[in-house]
Amino acid sequence: MIGRAVLAVGLVLVGAVLSQPGLVLIGAVTLFVVLVMDIWSRYGLRDLDYERDLGPARAVWGDEVRIGLRVWNRKPLPLPRLVTDDYVDDGLAVVERPLLRSEIAGQGMLRNGWSLLWYERVVRHLHLRAERRGVFHFGPVRLEVTDLFGREVGREERELPATFTVLPRTVPVRSEQPSRAPLGTRRARSSLFVDPALFAGVRPQQPGDPVRQRHWRATARLGQPVSKRFEPANEQVVIIVLDAQTADGPHWLPVYDEERLEALGVAAASLARATLASGSACGLAAAFRTGGERWLSYLPPRADRQQLTRVGELLARMGPFVSASFEDLLGALPQRVPPGATLLTLSCRAPRTYLGALLRLRSSGFEVRHLAIGPTASATARVLRARRIPAAVAALEPDWRTAPSVTVNG
């Protein structure tokens, strides 16, 4: 840059000494271009704000989410051309424009061009289409500034990390024989314990009632001590045990069926939704890694409103390869699940390798029920019923993308 400026000044001086207007003009134009490039290269990226607003951090498969991009030029120098490249994991689709290929494997670029006046702020709205289940990462963003002549004079990369989670879709679970559907049982009517969240009224105070159980307002109104009464705590606990391996053979082989994997995710999320809707507590166990060193992904059973979201987020992180065999997963469950829980196993494979593990769980006192899905589902259900393990067949027809429900047949 300095060399060009010295050359331009030299041309102006030589032209003036030799009385050559052409050299003076060329030197002046060159000096002007050098000064313009120097100004935009020094100040083009200064006082320039770029923000990305994803809105909701999660969406369900098939949804469209609006994303806001904001650029603010907070200086008196206009920007004839600004190009922003947002790096994002492959798998997300932008409705308004396709993602470009980037030099980083597994990531694409969302490119936008801007033209900003002094102190101008521009907001642009795009839409992300959740076409694929998973966890997608944004960032960094690369900013490139050009001068009045269209030459790139400044480039900068900023870290703008963000995460967008696409949960699997959920559909109703329908069964021809609801009493045989492997979704657990309903709330019981009596118990040795009560649920303090289920207030059922008041009763006369009895010896041994704790002071904090007394209903003071009702006591004052009735003129005699009364205690709070609660519903019995007998919610069924159901653990959905997911066999994430979609191909027969050793679990460590890098072979999988993407359609079966997505169908398992939709079925597991739909079963969790139906279980929670029935008033039961629901948990999830599967053998895949979610970013840490633990080989088992386990979500403890709960019955609150946020549990379905937790199940969906865990299923969103399910990759195509498992971290252990299904029989190893079943063998590790007695150390984690609460006593008396119902184990609802879900698999698309034949039971040849994990039948023994199911029988051992049943002999340990757990209630084991199996739900088979896929082309071998009917044969799998017959084999398990022959060994006195309740089994049913689940189907997503015509496919997991458009099925109106999960059909469960006993």
Structure tokens at 395: 């189907």
pLDDT of residue 13: 58
**Chosen domain end from 167, 196, 216:** 167
**182 belongs to a structural domain:** yes
Token pair 């109703």 is found at 172
The string of DSSP letters for 84-151 reads: EEEEEEBTBEESSSPPEE-SSTTEEEEEEEEEE-TT-EEEEEEEEE--S-EEEEEEEEEEEEE-TTS-
Specify burial of residue 18 (Cβ count, 10 A radius: 0-12, 13-18, 19+).
exposed
Mean pLDDT for each consecutive 10-residue tract of the chain (410 residues)? 55 59 61 64 85 88 92 90 91 87 85 92 92 90 83 85 93 74 48 56 81 84 84 72 92 90 95 90 90 83 91 93 93 88 94 94 91 93 93 93 90
Residues 138, 180, single domain; the answer is no
What tokens does 262 get?
Answer: 């997505």
Give the three-class secondary structure for 160. coil
Angle at alpha carbon of residue 149, lines to 147 and 154, rounded to 5°: 30
Q: Report if residue 57 sits inside a domain.
A: yes
Evaluate whether 130 touches 60 at the Cβ level (below 8 Å): yes
Give the torsion sign (CA, 244, 249, 253, 255).
Answer: negative
Answer yes or no: do 106 and 252 share one domain.
no
Residues 349, 249, single domain; the answer is: yes
| Pairing status of strand 406-409 against strand 173-175 | parallel
Residues 118 and 73 sit within 8 Å (Cβ to Cβ): yes
Q: Would 154 be classed as within a structural domain?
A: yes
Domain end marker among 167, 196, 226:
167
Helix 2-17 vs helix 21-43: crossing angle, to nearest 10: 160
**DSSP code at position 322:** -
pLDDT attached to residue 10: 60
Q: Could you give the C-alpha distances from 57 to 28, 51, 61, 65, 383, in angstroms and in order?
A: 54, 15, 13, 9, 43
Do 148 and 284 lie in one domain? The reply is no
Same domain, yes or no: 256 and 132:
no
| Burial class of residue 247, CB neighbours in 10 A (0-12, 13-18, 19+) | middle
Helix (H) or strand (E) holding 64: strand 64-73
By residue range, what is the domain housing residue 148?
48-167
Q: Report d(CA 337, CA 238) in Å as an integer.
A: 9
Q: Is residue 139 part of a domain?
A: yes
Are residue 129 and residue 180 in the same domain, yes or no?
no
How many whole angstroms separate alpha carbon 36 and alpha carbon 8? Answer: 13
Same domain membership, residue 181 and residue 126:
no
Residues 103 and 62 placed together within one structural domain of the fold: yes
Total domains in the chain come to 2
**Residue 223, in any domain of the structure:** no
Q: How far apart are CA 170 and CA 183, in angstroms?
A: 15
232 close to 193: Cβ distance less than 8 angstroms: yes
Which among 167, 198, 224 is the end of a domain? 167
Segment holding 198, helix H or strand E: strand 194-204
Q: Return the CATH number at 133.
A: 2.60.40.10
Report the DSSP beta bridge partners of residue 100. 109
The CATH number that applies at residue 351 is: 3.40.50
Is 392 in the same domain as 338?
yes
Q: Is 255 part of a structural domain of the chain?
A: yes
3-state secondary structure of 372: strand
To which residue do tokens 């053998």 refer?
287
77 and 182 belong to one structural domain: no
Whether residue 212 is contained in a domain is answered as no
Looking at the fold, whether 242 and 303 belong to one and the same domain comes out as yes
Residue 4 in domain: no
Contact 280, 237 (CB under 8 A): yes
CA 336/CA 301 separation, integer angstroms: 11
First-last CA distance in the chain = 79
pTM, whole model, 2 decimals?
Answer: 0.77
**Within this chain, do residues 147 and 283 fall inside the same structural domain, yes or no?**
no
Interatomic CA distance for residues 28 and 11, integer angstroms: 8
